[in-house]
Amino acid sequence: MTTIPGELEGGVLYISMEYGTVVHSCCCGCGHEVVTPLTPTDWSLTFDGEAVSLWPSVGSWNLPCQSHYVIKGNRVVEAGPWSRKMVEKEVKHGKAAKARYYANLSKSSVDTGVSKAKLDPGQESRATDLSPWKRFWAWLSK
């Protein structure tokens, strides 16, 4: 997928491997758009052949709902609320983790001459053709 629809359907994850991004309507039902970048320091998406999971938890701290949940095996698992202090601590930790990761990545590329490898586009398209993404999120419409 290269574009996200203007109106998000509830219970559907819109996944773009090309842009390393997952977008969905907040699982609390408020209708706000939630964007989770797929990077080594943000979220990861796993597909086990039948179900998808998104990790770590999704905390909508900047939305009025302040929703907090994990998407695991095609199910939304509600997580407990966080205080503003907990959110600020996690934001600080996340920024530090990014700084370390990208500093080490830059250093290892310079020191070892390692470069990034791009997947064969044919492999990527076969992976997304396994089944419609909507099938994975039918659980929300039940």
Q: Which residue would you say has higher pLDDT here, 127 or 119?
A: 119
**51: pLDDT strictly greater than 50:** yes
What's residue 120's pLDDT? 54
Residue closest to 76 by CA, chosen among 9, 4, 13: 13
Beta-carbon contacts of 6 under 8 Å, excluding residues fewer than 6 positions away, are none
Alpha-carbon span 33 to 23, nearest angstrom: 7
Cα torsion 67, 71, 77, 82: sign: negative
**124: pLDDT strictly greater than 80:** no
**138: pLDDT strictly greater than 80:** no
How much is the pTM?
A: 0.70
